[in-house]
Structures are given as C-alpha cells and as structure tokens.
A and B are shown apart, each in its own frame.
Chain A
Amino acid sequence: MEKQVVDGLREVFQSGRSRPLQYRKQQLGALHRLITEHQEDIEQALKQDLNRNTYNTSLFELISIENDIKLAESEMADWAAPRPVKKNLNSALDNVYIKPEPLGVVLIIGTWNYPWAMILQPLVGAIAAGNAAVLKPSELSEHSARLMKELLPLYLDKEMYQVVTGGVPETQELLRQRFDHIFYTGSSMVGKLVMEAAARHLTPVTLELGGKSPCYVDKNCDIAVACRRITWGKFANCGQTCIAPDYILCEPSIQDRIVEEIQKTLLEFYQTDPKSSPDYCRIINTRHFDRVLALMNECTIALGGESDRSQCYIAPTVLKDVLPHFKIMQEEIFGPLLPIVTVNGLSEAIQFINAREKPLALYVFSSDKTVIKRMLAETSSGGVTVNDVLMHYTVDTLPFGGVGNSGMGRYHGKHTFDQLSHHRACLIKSFAMEGLNDARYPPLTAARLRKAKFFMQHRLCSCSGICVWAVIATLLAIGLKDNVP
C-alpha cells in the first residue's frame, strides 16, 4: 500500500502540476482554510490526546502554522525566484544564478506532542517548494491523526499530498520506499533508524530530535522573573516539548530561592490544584506516564510529586539536589519534572553541559553580559534563548534545528522552503568570446596558464553598495561645487 502511495505521488509530481506558484499558493490557502474552519475539531482532538485547552492549542500550534502559511504565500515569489551570484572576470558576461527547484516526494513523519505543528509546518515548506508529500502523523496522538487523515483530502490536492496513518510497521514500510527528502521529528534513537533507511536511497534527511536542554540560572539575575519564564516553558504541554528546559543548573546558594519562586508561579498559573486547572495538560499515555514517574525514584521532591495514573496526570514537580548519576539525568525527561543540579559556578556548569550530548536548546539566565558571552562561546546547542525559554522557536527568521545528537537540518519560515528545495547552480554562457577560452585548451603552455590564472582569480565586487555611495558623492560634489571659493 505504502509503495503504491509513493509511486502514485511521484507520477503526479512528475506531471509538473506543483511547479506553478499559483498552484502552490492555492494549496497553502486551502491548508489555511482547513485549520481555520476546523479549529474547533482540532482543539477537540488535542483535548482528547493531551488534555490541551483551546488557548494552548492556538498559542503553541495554530499560530505558528498560520504564520508560516502567510509568510510563504506572501514571500513565495521571492523565495522561488532565481538568486543571482557574484561572478569572476571569466563569467562577467554570463548569467549566473542559483535556481531553487522542488526535490520531488517528501516524507514528513510527525510526532505526538504538537501533532499539528510538527507535521503542518514542514508541509507548508514542502508545498511552497513545489514538492509532493506523504504525511505520517504519530499514532500516539491518535485523535489528531484520525482527524488529519479525514480533513486533508477535503482541502488539499489528494493526489499530491497524502496522509498515511498507522504504527511502527506502517512507518517501517514507508521508510523502505524511495523519497527525495525525509523530514523526521522525534527521538534520537529512531532518528538513527530513519537516517539508516534514507542512506539506502541516498535520501537527504532533516532530523528534529531532542536531548536534555540545560537551563543555567546565574546568581546575578532577577530570579523571580527567571523562574516565571522557566515555569511557563517547562510545564506547558505538561513538559512534553522538545525545547522545554529539561533541568536547572545553579549554585547551591540560590536553589531554595528558585524553588520558592517556582512554587509561587505554579500557584499563579495553575492554582492550588493543577489537576483541575483547565490549562494543565496530561501525559500522552500510560507508557510515558510510567516512564516519567520512574525517573523520580531516587530524587528529593521539593514541589509536587503527586500523580494519578487513571488520568495520566503528574503534578508540576521540582526535584532538588539532583546528582548527575541519577536516572533522571540519563535521558530526556519529556514530562513535568524539573530537576535542579547544583554547580559551583559558571565554569562547572559549562563543563557539565559539555560532558553531555549537544542539546536542542540551551538556556541561560543572567544580568551579567560576560556570563552570557562565556556560556555562548564555550558550549554548543541547536539554538539558544537567553533570559527566557522557548522563544527562539517563534522567530521564523531563525533556523530551527539541532546539532549532533539533537539533529541535523533546520526549518521555519524561509528555512523550510530552502531545506526542501534543491538549489541548482546555473551558468548560462553564450557562444561569443571563444577567443578567451583559448587559454584553457591544450597544449597548456606557460603563457596560456598565465592568462587563465588572471581571469579566474578576479572576482567582481557587489555593485549596489558602491552605486549608492557614488550617487551620494556626486550629489555632494554638485552641491558643494559652487560654494567652494
């Protein structure tokens, strides 16, 4: 079945239907209508999947998708146009540019924590770049998967964009097919399997993976504000966010203060009983519930710790004096547990971070510019937000992606378009000036070599900047001419 789907899509892609920008815009418009007209259905599905309320759904998923669609619609002509490049003396009279082209059939494998954003944001880029696409939503967020499968063909060209639902066997079968790009969001472990499968067809991949995103709180900072922001980012979606601050690093002297501030904030956000707060989500399923709960075993609970398996509910929890070898520090938590690991200063924090895999996000809270500078200069991570959490995700001009174990490739805004395009180098010469070419033809004498060297080594500089100055200088010259005695 999966082979049929892919073969069918490839045939339709090769018909050239998705090449005209008008078609792509139409499809994006339809996608926009899908999420606007069915917003309530989507919210309902997410409520069932993750106990997410309508506001969080908009805030964390629909707004981002909408932003990307609007951006793609308005900028597509720009993005898809030939991009001229600098020439050298040899190519001075030629047409030299980079032409973005569709790749073909893209496979997008989504995940369950933000089931709509994680599939539709890449899809926006795939459509804008002129590709066909197979979408494989996560079976764990089953209501969203079912709804997506039902709605997409009602709005988009179902011969160009198809949804394939199912579990591991279906995904494995899909991965045996040949795609022109695979976009996977999920765990590093499965990321390796995806890349291995892709290697068999030399298919390029974008892997948006995870890891433990550290959050360093410097003693020189507004701890109250820092804790508000961290609390928001950590416990949104019940901690099930790939860029959630996974754990805190701080000096022992401020640990208690941090716990206190987080407690205050939790009260403000979720009131005395988060379980009955409409804004507090649930763990996706009992398997993950058990996994997350088990991570608490060796730890000292400073806040929270309550749970209810029948609801997959785990209270917002803070653990203090956590040691590096504890289980909770061995894997990405992906749940509402916030361990605090104490360190004796910035150097030790940096060392701690660098002894581990490069994370998807890194957070540092400090009023001290030198602290921030050092943290950024001496560590690596997919992205960084300083003095806040999650927010680099919302700036679509910033490429979003990991490095090392946290992934490869990037997307959002124009970056998705570029990631899912082939940037074809084009050089259009004429038949004229053949005399210039003599220098390169055999026999390669010393004289010919000299001539060839000259032409190859000189680049033409960019004209626009020089022109502006030339005009300004001319104007000034004219103006001052008569006034100079």
Chain B
Amino acid sequence: MSREQQAVQQARKAFLTGRSKPLDYRIKQLQNLKQFIKEKTTDIANAMRKDLHKTANATQLFEILGLEGEINLAVSKLAEWAAPRPVNKNLLTIADDVYIQPEPLGVVLIIGAWNYPIAVTLQPLVGAIAAGNAAVVKPSEVSSHTAKVLELLPLYLDPEMYQVVTGGVPETQELLRQRFDHIFYTGSSAVGKLVMEAAAHHLTPVTLELGGKSPCYIDKNCDIRIACRRITWGKYMNCGQTCIAPDYILCESSIQDKVINEIQKCIQEFYTNDPKSFADYGRIINQRHFKRIMALTEDSTVAIGGDSDESEFYIAPTVLRDVTPGSKVMQEEIFGPILPIVIVNDLKEAIQFINEREKPLALYVFSSSKKVIKQMISETSSGALVANDCLVHFTISDLPFGGVGNSGTGRYHGKYSFDQLSHLRSCLIKKLNMEGVNQMRYPPHTTEKLRWARVLLLKQVNLARWRQVAQVATLAALTVFVVQVRCSSKWVNVVNKS
C-alpha cells in the first residue's frame, strides 16, 4: 500500500469512529491549529522568507491574520453553523419538523498552492475541521520550506484525523487516485481540469480555486493618483504572485502617461529606488517561473522597470505600455510583477475586451462614476468585482470567495467554507397520525382528491413573514399600551392638581 493510500485509509478510519462529530472536538482542533500558528510563527516567517522573500510583517498581515480571523470566526460561530436550519413549510407539512441539517462529508483532500502557502492550505482546513471532516493536506512542494513547517501539524492536531502528505506530482497523482468525499484544490486551471477529471471517477464534488487574467479598468473620470496607489500595492505584493492581483490595466490612451507616472511614484514610495535591496519586495518562487515571466515581456515596450537578476529570481516592478492584445504577456496569467497597459477607446471597448476572454477570478474598475461601475458590473462576469481598490474582498469573511467558469467552481471563507465542506441534509420529520390527510394522494385516484392535493401542495406558509407581522403587532400593542399609561397618568396629575 502506498503512503498516500495509507494516509487516506487512516483518515477515513478516524472519521468513522465518529470522534469529529462533537462540536467540542472540532473547537479543540481549531484552537490547536491556532496554537500551531502562534508557536511556529518564527518558523513560518523564516520559511516564507526563504520561499518567497516575504518579511515577517508581510507574512503576518497577508497570511496569518486572515487565517486567525477564520479560526476565531469558526470557533465563535460553530454552534450556530452546525445547528439544524428550519425552513418555511407548505400547508401539508405545517405540523411537521422541517429543517436542513449540516453534516460532515467524510474525508476531504486539500491541495494547497505555493504563493500564500499557509493561507490557501490552512484556510480550507479550518472549514474542513469546523464541518466535522477528516482531512488529507497536500502542501505545495514548490514552497518547499513552508511545506516542511506544515509537516509539523500532526504535533498539534489529531494526527490520524488530519494527515499531511508532502511530495510532488507523483504523490499528488497517487492521492487523486484515492476516493475522497470532497477535493479542495487551489492552483492553475490546467491542473484544475485534471483534478476534476480524477474526482469524476469517484463522483467526488470539488472546489477549484483557480486563476486567470484579472482585468483592471481605469476610467478617465477618477482620482488617478489614488487608483494607482491601490493598484500598485495590489499588483506588486508578493511580487505579483497573487491569484487576484490586477493582471493588466485597460484605459484610454489620454491617461496612459499619467497612470505610468503615478505608478512610478508609488513604486518609489513603497519599494524605494532600489526594490532589489528593499526588504518588503518579494522574489519569484523559482527559476522556471522567473524564465516564464521574463519571456512574457519580450515583445512589449517597457515603461518602468524591466531589470532582473536570475541568480536571485528578482524581477523589478515593471510596467509595459501600449501592449497589444496579441502580445505574449496577454496570452496567459502573468503571476509576476509585470503590469501591461492595454489601450481601449472607451468603457464599451473595455467591456468587449473583457468578455472576449475567460471569466476572471477578480475584476477591478476604478471610477468616480456610479454609472460606469454599474455598467461594468452588469455587462461582465467574474468571480468577484471590486470597485476602486484591489484584493480587499479577500478579507471580508461574509463574501464568498471563488471563481466562475475557467477561474473556478465553488467558494469559501467564513461560513461558506463550512457550508462548502458539509452536506446540507434535508430533513422532514412527520408523525404517524393525521393519516386521513393522506387519503388524497392514495389510489384509487379521483378528481376530488386531486383538488385537495393541489391546495395543500401549492400554498406556502411563510413563517418568517408571520414572525415579522407578529413583531410589528407586538410593537404596535406596546406603543398603544405606553401611550395609554402616559395619558391616564397625565390625566391623574391634572385631576390631582385641580
């Protein structure tokens, strides 16, 4: 039996004991996960520095903080999330118990990515644990130092219930041959297809957090200076290796120079004159990606940056101008610190440009005009849309995070992670009395019986609305009571005075 098979078997065996069902157990595991992060902060920070040249503060802000937030949210809300969820009934089921019961799925496979190796590997794990599942975690081998730290998870979590399997492509393929109850994959669309194909053999549902080219439209009616600050921040964070980084800019030719000037100012402000020696500027993950990204710039005009150093996998924050749709840099997701500017004549052309391409994971629009924003929203599609900023939707745990079309399927963060990794089981609890009502459905069938069936099935009872009505009525009654009391006491005062 391969190591991967063993890991899955152990996890399933642990799951079948039922020990992950009680909420106490899940909360304990989540707290242990938090402890892991706290106690291994230095190890994680060091690993991130080696893998991606991230500073400790950047690791805190862009990986740890979000993860801690997710853990805290899950711990505080778990009882609510896991409780039966009552639903509106019809007349036929009015005396019955009707609700949706969230249940664990079983064994979840989580395949992480290398760009935010802690966040995108462990945030899904938070949802898996909260929902009562067992999990097999496969960190990306590309961020090898962080993968090593993640191997320490079994020292904190229930080691049979949550397994960590490291390795490369062969190990991942072996894992994908096993049967899981859900597969959560973060990575490229190309591999996403292979994951879904493998999942199909076992009818395993999948969540695929993929990528694409996230467009960034800058309207000429906007505060270009601020727009460029926010875009610069979002683009060059983690050296452009962010799935929701603004991939390329679309704008009218009249503002291209201003955009370039402003971005240059910001680069200088954020990363100094020499980003290479600045601690807060990252590096490309490895040589393969370094070469890939450099090749993308070959047929374009450099407006800012362009310098590089292969020995360090360093690529300067770069802006390309007058980029044509046919150029290399517009054929694939850049995932690096290269920011192409493509000229369009107006919003309509920008929308057309976006719609001719695959639906992106994120779409950014900078404009002071509500009309422009509205049009962009209604005439395009994307995983998410942010107006007048970049990336920050990732931090709002009540917003579902995920793609559409080529950028992915499924969503997570906050309660969405819990729901995504649960089975929401429909439950209808009836009693054995009132059998008379059922006559209308039994053969021999008659027109009269059918008439009754229609009435009972087609009328919905909206309990929420009844509750609202009751609330308003109570409030009204209370008001009347109060007014009455005050009036009568005023009257008493008047009488007393006289």
Q: A456 contacts which chain B residues (CB < 8 A)? A: 65-66, 69, 395
Q: By CB atoms of chain A within 10 A, which of B196, B281, B489 has the most?
A: B196
Q: A441 contacts which chain B residues (CB < 8 A)? A: 229, 233, 269-270
Interface flag for A196 (CB, 8 Å): yes
Q: Is A400 touching B431 in the complex (CB atoms < 8 A)?
A: no
Q: By CB atoms of chain A within 10 A, which of B18, B57, B479 has the most?
A: B57
Instruction: List the one stretch of A119-127, A287-295, A422-430 in contact with chain B.
Output: A422-430
In the complex, residue of chain A having the shortest beta-carbon distance to the beta carbon of B362: A425
Q: How far is the CA of A192 from the CA of B21 in the complex (A)?
A: 29
In the complex, residue of chain A having the shortest beta-carbon distance to the beta carbon of B459: A67
Q: Is A482 touching B388 in the complex (CB atoms < 8 A)?
A: no
Interface flag for A85 (CB, 8 Å): yes
Q: In whole Å, how far is B372's beta carbon from the nearest beta carbon of chain A?
A: 12
Chain A binding surface SS class: mixed
Q: A426 contacts which chain B residues (CB < 8 A)? A: 377, 384-387
Chain B 259-294 per-residue mask, 1 if CB under 8 angstroms from chain A, else 0: 000000000011100000011110000000000000
Q: Is A444 touching B396 in the complex (CB atoms < 8 A)?
A: no
Q: In whole Å, how far is B209's beta carbon from the nearest beta carbon of chain A?
A: 12
Q: A319 contacts which chain B residues (CB < 8 A)? A: none
Q: Is B429 touching A387 in the complex (CB atoms < 8 A)?
A: yes
Interface residue count for A (Cβ, 8 Å)? Answer: 121
Q: By CB atoms of chain A within 10 A, which of B199, B379, B395, B396 has the most?
A: B396
Interface flag for A277 (CB, 8 Å): yes
In the complex, residue of chain A having the shortest beta-carbon distance to the beta carbon of B179: A404
In the complex, residue of chain A having the shortest beta-carbon distance to the beta carbon of B363: A424
Q: Is A202 touching B208 in the complex (CB atoms < 8 A)?
A: yes
Q: Is A443 touching B489 in the complex (CB atoms < 8 A)?
A: no
Q: Is B203 touching A195 in the complex (CB atoms < 8 A)?
A: yes
Q: How far is the CA of A84 from the CA of B228 in the complex (A)?
A: 28
Chain A 101-136 per-residue mask, 1 if CB under 8 angstroms from chain B, else 0: 101100000000000000000000000000000000
Q: How far is the CA of A67 from the CA of B457 in the complex (A)?
A: 8
Q: Is B203 touching A449 in the complex (CB atoms < 8 A)?
A: no
Q: In whole Å, how far is B431's beta carbon from the nearest beta carbon of chain A?
A: 6
Interface flag for B378 (CB, 8 Å): yes
Q: Is A63 touching B384 in the complex (CB atoms < 8 A)?
A: no
Q: Are A424 and B381 also in contact (CB < 8 A) when A202-B208, A429-B389 are?
A: yes
Q: Are A63 and B203 also in contact (CB < 8 A) when A376-B427, A395-B428 are?
A: no
Q: How far is the CA of A142 from the CA of B78 in the complex (A)?
A: 50
Q: Are A431 and B223 also in contact (CB < 8 A) when A67-B458, A380-B103, A444-B58 are?
A: yes
Interface flag for B87 (CB, 8 Å): yes
Q: A479 contacts which chain B residues (CB < 8 A)? A: 481-482, 485-486
A window 406-430: CB within 8 A of B: 407-410, 422-430
Q: By CB atoms of chain B within 10 A, which of A70, A207, A385 has the most?
A: A385
Q: How far is the CA of A432 from the CA of B193 in the complex (A)?
A: 42
Q: Are A431 and B222 also in contact (CB < 8 A) when A58-B450, A86-B398 are?
A: yes
Q: B271 contacts which chain A residues (CB < 8 A)? A: 442
Q: Are A85 and B396 also in contact (CB < 8 A) when A196-B200, A277-B444 are?
A: yes
Q: In whole Å, how far is B485's beta carbon from the nearest beta carbon of chain A?
A: 5
Q: Is B203 touching A367 in the complex (CB atoms < 8 A)?
A: no
Q: In whole Å, how far is A38's beta carbon from the nearest beta carbon of chain B?
A: 18
Q: Is A427 touching B385 in the complex (CB atoms < 8 A)?
A: yes
Q: How far is the CA of A372 from the CA of B428 in the complex (A)?
A: 11
Chain A 172-200 per-residue mask, 1 if CB under 8 angstroms from chain B, else 0: 00000000100000001001110110111
Q: How far is the CA of A386 from the CA of B93 in the complex (A)?
A: 12
In the complex, residue of chain A having the shortest beta-carbon distance to the beta carbon of B373: A428
Q: In whole Å, how far is A397's beta carbon from the nearest beta carbon of chain B?
A: 4
Q: Is A440 touching B426 in the complex (CB atoms < 8 A)?
A: no
Q: How far is the CA of A270 from the CA of B388 in the complex (A)?
A: 68
Q: Is B428 touching A425 in the complex (CB atoms < 8 A)?
A: no
Q: Is B200 touching A16 in the complex (CB atoms < 8 A)?
A: no
Q: Which of A196, A445, A446, A475 contacts B197 (CB 8 A)?
A: A196
Q: How far is the CA of A279 from the CA of B446 in the complex (A)?
A: 10
A window 146-196: CB within 8 A of B: 180, 188, 191-193, 195-196
Q: Are A398 and B392 also in contact (CB < 8 A) when A202-B196, A384-B427 are?
A: no
Q: Is B426 touching A384 in the complex (CB atoms < 8 A)?
A: yes
Interface flag for B328 (CB, 8 Å): no
Q: How far is the CA of A2 from the CA of B443 in the complex (A)?
A: 42
In the complex, residue of chain A having the shortest beta-carbon distance to the beta carbon of B401: A425
Q: Which of A58, A269, A428, A475 contacts B388 (CB 8 A)?
A: A428
Q: Is B478 touching A475 in the complex (CB atoms < 8 A)?
A: yes
Q: A59 contacts which chain B residues (CB < 8 A)? A: 441, 445, 450, 453
Q: Is A475 touching B386 in the complex (CB atoms < 8 A)?
A: no
Q: In whole Å, how far is A374's beta carbon from the nearest beta carbon of chain B?
A: 12
Q: Is A232 touching B441 in the complex (CB atoms < 8 A)?
A: yes
Binding site for A on B (CB under 8 A): 18, 21, 55, 57-58, 60-61, 65-66, 69, 72-73, 87-90, 92-93, 98, 100-101, 103, 105-106, 181, 189, 192-194, 196-197, 199-201, 203, 205, 208, 210, 222-223, 226-227, 229-230, 233, 269-271, 278-281, 355, 368, 373, 377-379, 381-389, 392-393, 395-401, 404-406, 408-411, 423-433, 435, 438, 441-447, 449-450, 453-454, 457-458, 460, 471, 475, 478-479, 481-482, 485-486, 489
> Can you spell out 27 A-B residue pairs with CB atoms less than 8 angstroms apart?
A19-B378, A85-B398, A87-B396, A88-B397, A98-B399, A192-B203, A195-B203, A199-B193, A225-B435, A279-B445, A384-B427, A388-B430, A397-B88, A398-B98, A403-B423, A403-B425, A404-B181, A408-B203, A424-B382, A425-B384, A427-B393, A431-B223, A442-B233, A442-B278, A443-B278, A446-B57, A457-B65
Given contacts A269-B444, A397-B89, A441-B229, 14 further A-B contacts (CB under 8 A): A16-B379, A99-B377, A191-B203, A192-B203, A195-B203, A202-B208, A202-B405, A232-B441, A394-B92, A403-B423, A404-B203, A426-B377, A456-B65, A456-B66
